[in-house]
């Protein structure tokens, strides 16, 4: 018995020792630190929510300190992000990530980031250098344990490099500026269906004319499209959109502009965003930063405020290159055969042999079909061989988006704002603006290609030059507005330009449901306040659900359980409330209906195509009922029949999972906001690191809460990763929120402290006044420059 007692006591001591050791990985927030590279003393006041307020005597020292606090609070996130961009995950995660690394090494994102550095201004390089010094000052002076992820995975972070910052900007552009995966999916479908039927699967934006697809299916037959799809890193899925709007003083109770913004990106733990305030003689800015970048991406200065949504331009094209039949190291161009640029990339794999990747580039971009095999192995027919290349605006070495971000933090007027955006190249964003003088505006900066012909919907021949990019939309001709007579500007990823706009931006605008709902709510009262703006950001009425609800209610069901569900929904208006059962019924019905409509024709490609696609469903139900006919049966099924069958299936499935009484079902119990850890999400450690909370909404509510139809359950995977309201009558009344907490360390009280506040659409004060910041502050850390020997 005494042996057991002593063993338990020893185990308890070991656990306590491990716990207290791991807590040494938490940042120092009080006292004084002496740091090499700092030029003058800096004070970092962490307010009651651990938001750092950095008071420096120069911009360079403010950025140095931002690098230092980013590393204190989010070091593993920063290291993971740079490894993603550099294609170096396998060094620490092993064989499981080799395909991802191979894809990113082939893209060459990190290589382009390195080559971008010399093309930045001296001021931008200096800012990046100061930030890099700050990150490395933490790495060289830290004491105690590293964050737990490093200990679990058994490695230490390398020093920070300037390209580590730039590469993450390009990876954000990958998420927000891509449609290459739709091109690839269309090409795969064109091997199965005729062009007119594939075109139907991407119906035009409401009011636009249908678009015909060219037929290059013969070129697609032997290309490794399926294998490339399987291993490629996809951009954000449909439904991961954003909202922003701004009203002039004529529309507000204060007589000064109000601005709202809530970008919707993938949810994760820790949050993508990190709040910070930078104060120096020539700098006063607060808002959301991205750990790894030395500026506020979304926020306000002491004179202006701004907010982003994604424009969603078509800035990626797939080109089919024809190889020289006598020399596969050359490919055909309009001027004859030219050699590929070639390089070798070595992927180091933990516990395995290195993987050597041969990367080739054409005049259009990297040969991405090489990710799954060289041309000699994958594409040979009719005596000819072909490869697939990717053109993408963010792979240009003259991308100056980084310095645009720096300039935006210093802007004081509309003219400063516009001048800063001239360097904003990727990804194209809809940026709304307001200032204390009462001006409101919008600009959509970014490089959007002009094509010789075609519109980037499918992979096209690259050897003719017929589809080449001939330039970019001139900056002055990008969408913009200043002080419109309506006193209102709003974007929600919907179509931004009218039919008279002279340039092509994209066919893939987001569905207009969120935009229509915001318009309705803003028009609902003559004078708005921060409170009414908060109500708009919190709105969970789904115009998409309301539009399809009549189809569900009129479905000719015979099953008694399905009829009971119709009765339940008779008084429902599309409010996707977490505490109600109706959203769950609608979600399961729509999931079944989409599968019944398309699975028969699309076969093995159905899972890859399976998304909400309400514009397509609207088109099918109104104009193209042939999609409802099951091609696997001799009789001709109708859409009404499938709607009834889908409700019967949903009824059976819901009762099996959640019990016989629909009144006891709850949307929030199935639709939880899922903030997965960057690495440990699907491991036993996920219980410690992952965050989740019941939530309302869907992909089409203003309070966006996308979930995947093809995924079991209805876990929310993207949403408002940042919310902010800016009051230009008194900028200190502005407020912001992100989903998790400031810390990326699971042992910190600030790892998950914001989760319920975020779900309930509450905010933190966006303060810069030092006296207000000091109230309840968790600590003040003084950073001193090291004396030169």
Catalytically annotated residues: 242
Distance, CA of 761 to CA of 749 (rounded, Å): 20
Tokens in use for 159?
């020093």
Indicate the angle between helix axes 582-602 and 543-553, nearest 10 degrees. Answer: 80
The CB density around residue 281, as the number of other CB atoms within 10 Å, is 10
> In 270-397, at which residue ranges do the beta strands (DSSP E only) sit?
274-280, 283-289, 296-301, 304-310, 316-324, 327-333, 336-339, 341-347, 355-361, 380-381, 384-392
Please return the burial class of 355, using the count of CB atoms within 10 Å of its CB with bins 0-12, 13-18 and 19+: middle
Nearest to 537 by CA among 579, 492, 497: 492
Q: Any known ligand binding at 314?
A: yes
Tokens in use for 478?
């990008």
Distance, CA of 295 to CA of 286 (rounded, Å): 9
How is 206-265 classified by DSSP, letter by letter?
TTSPP-PPP--HHHHSSS-HHHHHHHS---PPTT--EEEEEE-GGGBSSSS-EEEEEEEE
Q: Is 380 left (phi over 0), alpha (psi -120 to 50) or beta?
A: beta
Backbone φ and ψ of 733, nearest 5°: -85, -5
The CB density around residue 636, as the number of other CB atoms within 10 Å, is 12
How is 366-404 classified by DSSP, letter by letter?
BBGGGGG--HHHH-EETTEEEEEEEEEGGG-TT--HHHH
Residues 6 or more apart in contact with residue 180 via CB below 8 angstroms? 235, 316, 317, 318, 390, 392
Using omega within 30 degrees of 0 as the cis cutoff, is the peptide bond preceding 270 cis? yes
C-alpha 382, offset from chain centre: 42
Q: Tell me how long the chain is.
A: 789
Contact call for residues 279 and 54 (beta carbons, < 8 A): yes
Q: Any known ligand binding at 183?
A: yes
Tokens in use for 386?
């072909």
Nearest to 164 by CA among 197, 117, 198: 117
SS3 of 29, please? coil
How is 552-604 classified by DSSP, letter by letter?
HHT-----HHHHHHHHHTTT--SB--TT-SHHHHHHHHHHHHHHHHHHHHHGG
Distance, CA of 630 to CA of 679 (rounded, Å): 41
Distance, CA of 199 to CA of 183 (rounded, Å): 12
How is 595-650 classified by DSSP, letter by letter?
HHHHHHHHGGGHHHH-S--HHHHHHHHHH-GGGGS-TTSSS---HHHHHHHHHHHH
Q: Any known ligand binding at 317?
A: yes
Tokens in use for 366?
């990297």
Q: Which residue ranges are tagged as binding site for Ca(2+)? A: 183, 314, 317
Q: Which residue ranges are tagged as binding site? A: 183, 314, 317
């Amino acid at each position: 018995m005494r042996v057991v007692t002593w063993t338990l006591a020893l185990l308890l001591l070991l656990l306590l020792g491990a716990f207290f050791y791991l807590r040494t990985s938490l940042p120092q927030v009080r006292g004084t630190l002496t740091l090499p590279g700092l030029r003058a003393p800096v004070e970092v006041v962490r307010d009651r929510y651990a938001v750092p307020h950095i008071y420096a005597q120069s911009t360079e020292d403010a950025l140095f300190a931002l690098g230092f606090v980013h590393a204190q609070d989010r070091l593993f996130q920063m290291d993971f992000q740079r490894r993603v961009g550099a294609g170096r995950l396998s060094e620490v995660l092993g064989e499981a990530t080799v395909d991802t690394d191979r894809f990113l090494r082939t893209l060459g994102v990190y290589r382009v980031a390195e080559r971008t550095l010399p093309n930045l201004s001296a001021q931008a390089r200096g800012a990046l250098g100061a930030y890099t010094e700050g990150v490395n000052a933490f790495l060289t002076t830290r004491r105690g344990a590293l964050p737990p992820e490093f200990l679990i995975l058994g490695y230490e972070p390398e020093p920070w490099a300037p390209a580590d910052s730039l590469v993450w900007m390009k990876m954000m552009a990958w998420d927000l500026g891509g449609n290459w995966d739709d091109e690839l999916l269309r090409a795969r479908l064109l091997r199965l269906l005729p062009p007119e039927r594939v075109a139907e699967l991407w119906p035009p934006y409401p009011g636009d004319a249908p678009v015909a697809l060219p037929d290059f299916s013969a070129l697609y037959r032997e290309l490794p499209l399926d294998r490339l799809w399987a291993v490629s890193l996809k951009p954000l899925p449909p439904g991961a959109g954003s909202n922003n709007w701004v009203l002039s003083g004529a529309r507000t109770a204060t007589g000064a502009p109000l601005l709202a913004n809530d970008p919707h990106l993938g949810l994760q733990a820790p949050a993508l965003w990190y709040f910070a305030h930078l104060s120096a003689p020539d700098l006063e800015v607060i808002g959301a930063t991205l750990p790894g970048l030395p500026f506020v991406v979304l926020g306000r200065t002491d004179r202006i405020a701004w907010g982003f949504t994604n424009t969603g331009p078509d800035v990626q094209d797939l080109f089919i290159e024809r190889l020289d039949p006598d020399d596969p190291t050359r490919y055909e161009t309009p001027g004859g055969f030219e050699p590929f640029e070639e390089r070798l990339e070595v992927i180091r794999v933990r516990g395995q042999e290195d993987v050597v990747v041969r990367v080739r580039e054409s005049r259009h971009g990297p040969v991405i079909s090489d990710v799954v095999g060289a041309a000699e192995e994958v594409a040979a027919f009719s005596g000819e061989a072909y490869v697939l290349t990717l053109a993408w605006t963010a792979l240009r070495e003259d991308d100056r988006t980084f310095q645009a971000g720096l300039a935006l933090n210093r802007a004081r007027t509309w003219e400063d704002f516009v001048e800063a955006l001239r360097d904003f190249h990727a990804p194209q964003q809809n940026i709304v603006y307001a200032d204390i003088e009462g001006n409101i505006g919008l600009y959509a900066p970014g490089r959007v290609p002009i094509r010789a012909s075609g519109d980037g919907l499918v992979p096209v021949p690259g050897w003719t030059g017929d589809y080449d990019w001939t330039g970019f939309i001139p900056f002055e001709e990008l969408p913009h507005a200043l002080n419109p007579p309506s006193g209102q500007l709003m974007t929600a990823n919907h179509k931004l330009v009218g039919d008279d706009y002279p340039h092509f931006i994209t066919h893939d605008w987001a569905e207009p449901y969120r935009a229509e709902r915001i318009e309705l709510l803003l028009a609902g009262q003559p004078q708005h306040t921060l409170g009414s703006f908060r109500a708009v950001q919190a709105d969970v009425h789904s115009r998409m659900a309301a539009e399809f609800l009549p189809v569900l209610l009129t479905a000719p069901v015979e099953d008694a359980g399905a009829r009971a569900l119709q009765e339940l929904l008779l008084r429902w208006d599309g409010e996707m409330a977490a505490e109600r059962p109706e959203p769950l019924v609608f979600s399961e019905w729509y999931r079944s209906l989409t599968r019944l409509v398309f699975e028969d024709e699309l076969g093995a490609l159905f899972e890859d195509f399976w998304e909400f696609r309400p514009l397509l469903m609207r088109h099918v139900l109104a104009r193209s009922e042939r999609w409802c006919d099951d091609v696997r049966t001799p009789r001709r099924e109708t859409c009404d029949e499938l709607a009834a069958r889908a409700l019967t299936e949903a009824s059976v499935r819901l009762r099996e999972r959640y019990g016989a009484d629909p009144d006891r079902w709850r949307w929030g119990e199935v639709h939880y906001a899922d903030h997965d850890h960057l690495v440990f999400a699907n491991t036993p450690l996920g219980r410690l690191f992952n965050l989740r909370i019941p939530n309302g909404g869907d992909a089409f509510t203003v309070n966006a809460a996308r979930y995947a139809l093809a995924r079991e359950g209805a876990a929310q995977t993207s949403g408002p990763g940042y919310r902010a309201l800016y009051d230009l009558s008194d900028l200190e009344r502005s407020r912001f929120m992100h989903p998790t907490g400031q810390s990326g360390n699971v042992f910190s009280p600030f790892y998950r402290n914001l989760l319920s506040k975020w779900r309930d659409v509450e905010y933190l004060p966006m303060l810069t006044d030092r006296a207000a910041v000091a109230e309840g502050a968790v600590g003040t850390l003084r950073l001193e420059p090291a004396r030169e020997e």
